[in-house]
């Protein structure tokens, strides 16, 4: 009898644990969202969702409808606008597959700290999506543009940002975690990549654009947007954005045009990887910072007006010095602009000071926005060329 009673008792306790997926939902009960947009119009939040039409994505033949649908609603709070979306959507929004969150430029200039609260509280949001700023437009406009290379615009924006940041270096990937970390930090301000519309917005909203081999309307990434506290204050130039990414060690691959050592012209260098370190300290009651960058690259193109002996070690040393001087100059100019024009520590010298000299940081933390423009910054670049290609000298045309 005892074994039987033991079995009954175990069954009573175990049964609640065998309830299975009690909160599971079927795919046909969900509206899977690939992109989100947040704007502010007339004092109200505008929440935009880009919903995937799974039946159209799955078709082997050309779809009769667009593969995504964009819905938008207004509300006094973001959560209200989000819930009001149920008036238009037949099913509940599902946010675990969001690839991009786009913030309208006007809202970014007003301040972004309040809009992320609901996303941090809701368990359905993952933190691996990218955050972008709609440059010169609203987030709703960006999410209304159809794309050609990928049928789902949210996926296309995600993939192209990864490609442009790793293969060119003018953009940077900012996930929700990075966004929150830099937003809350007093020792490093935020930078976010911008995206804008090229061409006519209304034409980009219809499938007729697919009839052109070169679409007249498309989305394009801009250089980085600079924040001070939680507000967008300005946009970098392209050269400045690349210099910023060099200083952060973000660049995995890019290209540079370096002056020839002998004669006039340029040599094209492919940067294959970089690493960087930012340090900060105090000397003679003066805060000092230093940026150290290491660059590895290959020579890909020589358009000099005289032969360049790439197989000569002494020549290569001079050429590597040219790379050092070029990158050092660009980074110094970019940091000087951050100190004088933006007055925003987007490079993280404050965080570096906090790590290495916490007592010094404690003294200046509250006034860091005034201290940062006055610090002295040194830049050191160490470049190494590893490969000159299959030839050592450029071909000579016969006369």
Does the pLDDT value for residue 171 go beyond 60? yes
- Mean per-residue pLDDT for 241-256? 93
Q: 369 in a domain, yes or no?
A: yes
Between these two residues, 197 and 87, which has the higher pLDDT value? 197
**171 and 260 housed in the same domain:** no
Residue 13 is assigned to a structural domain of this protein: no
Asked whether residue 219 falls in the same domain as residue 257, the answer is no
Confidence of residue 212 (pLDDT cuts 50, 70, 90): low
pLDDT value at position 18? Answer: 57
pLDDT of residue 269: 95
CA distance linking residue 234 with residue 253, whole number of Å: 26
The residue with tokens 């933390």 is: 365
Stretch 131-150: mean pLDDT: 92
Which residue, of 200, 216, 235, is where some domain finishes?
A: 235
**pLDDT tens for each residue of 259-311:** 999 889 999 999 999 999 999 999 888 999 999 999 999 999 889 988 888 88
Domain boundary among 235, 267, 287: 235
User: Any idea what DSSP says for residue 318?
Assistant: H
Residue 394 lies in a domain: yes
Secondary structure tally for the chain: helices H, strands E: 14, 13
CA distance 261 to 265: 9
258 and 167 inside one domain? no
Comparison of pLDDT for 80 and 204, the residue scoring more: 80
CATH number for 354: 3.30.300.210
Does 20 fall in a domain?
no
Number of domains in the chain: 2
What percent of the chain clears pLDDT 90, i.e. is strictly above it? 60
Query: Band of the pLDDT at 69, cuts 50, 70, 90?
Result: confident
Average pLDDT rounded to a whole number, residues 333-342? 98
The predicted structure's pLDDT at residue 351: 97
Residue 286 located in a structural domain: yes
Residue 103 reports pLDDT greater than 80: yes
Tell whether 101 and 186 lie within a shared domain. yes
pLDDT band of residue 200 (cuts 50, 70, 90) is confident
More confident residue, 166 or 155: 155
Count of CB atoms situated within 10 Å of the CB of 266: 14
Q: Are 152 and 192 in contact (CB under 8 A)?
A: no
pLDDT at res. 150:
81
206/259 same-domain check: no
Residue finishing a domain among 184, 214, 235? 235
For residue 334, name the pLDDT band (cuts at 50, 70, 90): very high
Residue 308 has a pLDDT of 85
Q: Give, for 295, the enclosing helix (H) or strand (E).
A: strand 286-302
- 152: confidence class by pLDDT, cuts 50, 70, 90: confident
Is 70 exceeded by the pLDDT of residue 19? no
Q: What is the pLDDT of residue 226?
A: 98
Residue 284 sits in the same domain as residue 154: no
Q: Are residues 226 and 241 in the same domain?
A: no
How high is the mean pLDDT of the chain?
87
Residue 106, strand partner residues? none
- Residue 56 banded pLDDT, cuts 50, 70, 90: low
Residue 186 shares a structural domain with residue 40? yes
Strand partners for 221: 195
Asked if residue 22 is part of any domain, the answer here is no
Specify if 393 maps to a domain: yes
* Cα–Cα distance for residue pair 225/119, rounded to 1 Å: 22
Residue 276: inside a domain: yes
Q: In the predicted model, is pLDDT for residue 362 greater than 90?
A: yes
Please tell me which residue, 267 or 114, carries the higher pLDDT value.
Answer: 267
* Contact indicator for 132, 193 with CB cutoff of 8 Å: yes
Polymer length in residues for the chain: 399
Averaging pLDDT over each range in 68-82, 135-149, 242-256, 330-344, which range is the top one?
Answer: 330-344
Predicted confidence band at 174 (pLDDT cuts at 50, 70, 90)?
Answer: very high
Do 32 and 173 lie in one domain? The reply is yes
pLDDT, position 62: 54
pLDDT of 25 reads 55
Q: Are residues 221 and 268 in the same domain?
A: no
Residues 96 and 188 in one domain: yes
pLDDT at 21 over 60: no
pLDDT of residue 210: 62
Q: Which sign does the torsion angle of CA 342, 347, 353, 354 carry?
A: positive
Mean pLDDT along residues 12-17: 62
- As given in the structure block, the two tokens for residue 2 are 């005892």
Q: Do both 256 and 148 map to the same domain? A: no
Structural domain including 61 reads 28-235
């Amino acid at each position: 009898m005892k074994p039987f009673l033991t079995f009954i008792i175990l069954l009573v306790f175990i049964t609640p644990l065998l309830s299975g997926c009690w909160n599971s939902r079927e795919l046909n009960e969900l509206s899977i969202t690939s992109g989100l947009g947040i704007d502010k119009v007339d004092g109200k939040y505008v929440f935009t969702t880009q919903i995937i039409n799974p039946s159209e994505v799955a078709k082997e033949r050309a779809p009769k409808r667009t593969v995504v649908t964009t819905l938008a609603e207004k509300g006094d709070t973001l959560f209200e606008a989000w819930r009001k979306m149920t008036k238009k959507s037949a099913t509940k929004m599902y946010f675990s597959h969001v690839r991009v969150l786009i913030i309208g430029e006007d809202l970014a200039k007003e301040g972004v700290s309040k809009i992320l609260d609901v996303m941090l509280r809701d368990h359905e949001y993952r933190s691996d999506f990218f955050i972008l700023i709609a440059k010169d437009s609203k987030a709703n406009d960006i999410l209304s543009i159809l794309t050609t290379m990928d049928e789902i615009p949210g996926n296309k924006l995600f993939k192209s940002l990864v490609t442009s940041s790793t293969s060119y270096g003018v953009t940077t990937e900012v996930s929700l975690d990075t966004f929150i970390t830099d937003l809350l930090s007093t020792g490093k301000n935020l930078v976010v990549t911008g995206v804008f519309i090229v061409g006519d917005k209304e034409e980009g909203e219809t499938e007729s654009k697919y009839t052109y081999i070169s679409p007249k309307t498309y989305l394009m990434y801009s250089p980085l947007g600079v924040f001070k506290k939680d507000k967008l204050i300005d946009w970098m130039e392209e050269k400045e954005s690349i210099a910023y990414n060099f200083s952060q060690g973000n660049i995995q691959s890019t290209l540079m045009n370096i002056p020839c050592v002998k004669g006039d012209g340029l040599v094209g260098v492919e940067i294959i990887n970089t690493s960087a370190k930012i340090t900060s300290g105090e000397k003679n009651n003066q805060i000092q910072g230093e940026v150290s960058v290491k660059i590895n690259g290959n020579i890909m193109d020589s358009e000099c007006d005289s032969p360049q002996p790439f197989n000569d070690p002494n020549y290569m040393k001079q050429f590597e010095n040219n790379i050092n001087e070029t990158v050092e100059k660009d980074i110094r100019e970019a940091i000087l602009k951050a100190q004088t024009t933006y007055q925003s520590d987007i490079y993280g010298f404050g965080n570096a000071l906090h790590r290495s000299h916490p007592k010094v940081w404690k003294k200046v933390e509250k006034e860091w926005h005034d201290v940062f423009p006055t610090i002295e910054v040194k830049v050191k670049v160490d470049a190494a060329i590893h490969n000159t290609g299959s030839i050592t000298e450029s071909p000579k045309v016969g006369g």
